[in-house]
Each structure stands twice: as C-alpha cells, then as structure tokens.
Amino acid sequence: MADNGEPPPRSSSGLQLQLRPLFSLLGSPVPNRPRTFRTLTFVTASLVLAGFSTPLAADPARTGGTEVIVEVTNLRSGEGTVRACMTADPERFPRCRDDARSFRVVVPASQAHELHFRGVSPGRYAIALLHDENDNGRADRALGMMPKEGFGFSRDAPVRMGPPKFDEAAIAVGETAQHRSIRMRYML
C-alpha cells in the first residue's frame, strides 16, 4: 500500500511499478518493495543527468596541451545551453563534481555544433553533455525521474541500469588535436 492508502500502480503486465533511487546520494530506497523494472533506462538517464543540477562554470584558460574538438549531433533545438564536462577521473564521471582538473564548457545551444576543450594533457578522458533547453542550470525531469532534456556521452556510451562506466566512454587524447562526435539523446 502506498503512504496515501492506495495500492501501488501496476503495469499492463500486472507488475508493481517501482521507481527507486539508484544512488544513495539521491535518497534511500523505499523499504519492503520489490524491484520490478530493472531496465528503465529513463530512470538511469535522469540520475546521470542529476550531476548537471548545478551550473558548470566556464573553463579557465589553460596553456599547453592539445585541443579536443567535439561535434555535437542530433541536437533537438537551438534553445538554452549545452553543458559539457570532460574528466580523466573515473570516480568523477559523468558528473565531474568536485573535480578541479575537469574541463567544462557551457555554450548557447544555437552555437553548440562544436565544443572545444583546450589545454588538454595526453591521457584518457570521458565526456558528458547536457542540453539544458530552458537554461535553468539543472537537468529537468518528468515525474522526478525521466529526463526532459537531452544528454550524450563520448563514444556514444550506452545508458543501462546506471550511468555509463568511465571505461565505456573513455577516449585517448594524445599530443595532437582530437576530433570526436557525440550524439544527443532525448527520452521525451
């Protein structure tokens, strides 16, 4: 029974619908309820985008290193901004929170066909993008779970039952400029 005295909703197959937080950061799980929809990619995607809840600051000018140029494809509209972060830290991907060494770019969506990360040292990096269509600085969600805005990852890393792993999205950056393409995905 739900807290309001009503039974939990059921899907067409008769299974209980259960939308539970996957990360302890976002809340504790609902006690004594079975997990039934283990393949809800929209839940996973919304949790991935939760890391973009705070505005990304413009990346400070860096000297030396090379440049990573990202072509953004499948952008739904020119409204809002595109927020991007690139990190070499597997523990910080895809959110880039508290990662002073990450690279961040925020550009108007109308100008987001190419993003430039400058001053990049050679190494392995992963990139996450958010199309913040209403430019409110956070990833909006429908029903608290399903992302309303677009997202994308380097190497088109798949979103499954959690954010893509760093190794699934990692790209090698060498001494010369790198050109990559990231396809935006939209759930709604």
Strand, coil or helix: 49: helix
Q: Do residues 154 and 171 make contact, with C-beta atoms less than 8 angstroms apart?
A: yes
- What's the chain's average pLDDT? 77
Looking at per-residue pLDDT, the higher value among 182 and 61 belongs to: 182
How would residue 144 be classed by pLDDT, with cut points 50, 70 and 90?
confident
- Compute φ and ψ for 42, nearest 5 degrees: -70, -30
Give the C-alpha separation, 170 to 178, whole Å: 13
- How many CA atoms lie less than 13 Å away from 84 in the CB half-sphere? 30
Give the C-alpha separation, 100 to 118, whole Å: 15
pLDDT tens for each residue of 5-26: 555 555 454 444 444 433 333 4
How would residue 64 be classed by pLDDT, with cut points 50, 70 and 90?
confident
Distance of CA 103 to the CA centre of its chain: 15
CB atoms within 10 A of CB 187: 19
pTM of the model as a whole = 0.68
pLDDT tens for each residue of 86-124: 999 999 998 888 899 999 999 999 999 999 999 999 999
8-12, 81-85, 132-136: segment of lowest average pLDDT = 8-12
pLDDT at 70 over 50: yes
Domains of the chain: residue spans and CATH:
1-38 (no CATH), 46-183 (2.60.40.1120)
DSSP 52: G
Question: 187: closest CA among 138, 157, 142?
Answer: 142
